[in-house]
Amino acid sequence: MRAAGHGALSLVAGGSLWLVCNSFAAAAACLLTGLLLDMDHLVDYFLHQPRSNTLGDLVDVCENCRLQKVILPLHSLELLIPCILAAVMLPGQRLLLIGMAMGLGSHLLADQLSNPVTGGAYFFIQRWRKGFRRSAFFDPVVLERRRQRPV
């Protein structure tokens, strides 16, 4: 999913939390987690991409999955478990942690549904086991079609 889509989704999810829980902390945590999760794309870009370092190149590389290695440590369903456990075990921070879990979960679900991925692409352990190779998780036919469509 593109950044604008994640922004809209995070705003709706955070707004829903605000209405249901009447908690600014939960809403803000959901919104920020849903948006900031994509910061790990920058790490992959700077580690694995020849340096043209323009915003347009960054967007092109990330949206069209042009990297050969896809580490994306924050795009990991394994992070949901500790987030949910912490919400259960730390009642004083429950709403904040629920907001974080909702932001993380909605971001990953949207990516899973909108990106041309296969298998356990959103499990960090699976990416690690496959050497973080893009080819192990992304459908090359769909990626090529995506690259050819107008923006």
What is the DSSP annotation of 29-72? HHHHHHHHGGGHHHHHHHHHS-S---HHHHHHHHHTT--SB---
Q: Which residues pair with 69 in a beta bridge?
A: 133
**CA 86 to chain CA mean position, Å:** 20
pTM (2 d.p.):
0.85
Average pLDDT across each block of 10 residues of the chain; the chain has 151 residues. List them in order: 87 94 94 93 81 78 80 94 91 92 94 86 94 85 65 54
Residue 120 φ then ψ, to 5°:
-90, 45
- φ, ψ for residue 67 (rounded to 5)? -75, 145
